Amino acid sequence: MIKAVLWDFGGVLTTSPFEAFAGYEKKNHLPKDFIRSINATNPDSNAWALFESSQVSIDEFDALFQKESTLRGHKVPGKDVLALLSGEVRPAMVQALRMIKKHYQVGCITNNVKSGQGPGMSKSENKAQQVAAVMALFDTVIESSVLGIRKPNPEIYQIACTQMAVDPAQALFIDDLGINLKPARAMGMATIKVLNQEQAINDLEQQLQLDLRSSG
């Protein structure tokens, strides 16, 4: 029986940074999915992994990412990528979160970096306030940049379950990256991969047997 719903943040409760990556790539005449390919190369030790676990500073990340991208044929400063991270809050997903919170514990496990304002890495005070309002809904929030551990390390999922006093088999985890869902599933969690907002809400309704579209 599910007792807790664990949420990723970026790409789930906000629009995906991948959309911003695609726009940057088009504007700068880069190959499609070039930025994602950098992040997927040596995923446990690359610049992105080190920054999300707070092992390097912003300036160090900037230089490391630029070096990694240059080795793959195109020079991309890491700070350019950081400017693309903060998505727009999805009101329908936040509404679903509010309704789920009435019936289940809710927690957030987010891979983030110490850039911008707050856990959503916001670039403006207004957006930071929007993110803060969403974060306040959670019973527990696990940030990779604070903990020094990032998804898909199984330890971060166990920490979240421990804080919420649930067994992994009693949790549902929702994320937009399959690589982050695999360890959760291996631990016994139910999982949902977010492809788009409509599909995510449909899957949540099916898994939890709730109507997440009404205003009640």
- How confident is the model over 9-24, as a mean pLDDT? 93
Q: Give residue 116's pLDDT.
A: 57
- What is this structure's pTM? 0.88
Domain boundaries 4-15+87-208, corresponding CATH code? 3.40.50.1000
DSSP 18-51: HHHHHHHHHHTTPPTTHHHHHHHSSTTTSHHHHH
Written out in words, the top-level CATH class of the domain with range 17-82 is: mainly alpha
Q: Are strands 171-175 and 105-110 parallel, antiparallel or unpaired?
A: unpaired
Question: Sorting pLDDT into bands at 50, 70 and 90, what band is 213?
Answer: confident
Residue 95 one-letter amino acid: Q
pLDDT per position as a tens digit, 132-191: 999 999 999 999 999 999 999 999 999 999 999 999 999 999 999 999 999 999 999 999
Ranges of each domain in the chain: 4-15+87-208, 17-82
Q: Give residue 174's pLDDT.
A: 98
pLDDT per position as a tens digit, 21-35: 999 999 999 999 999
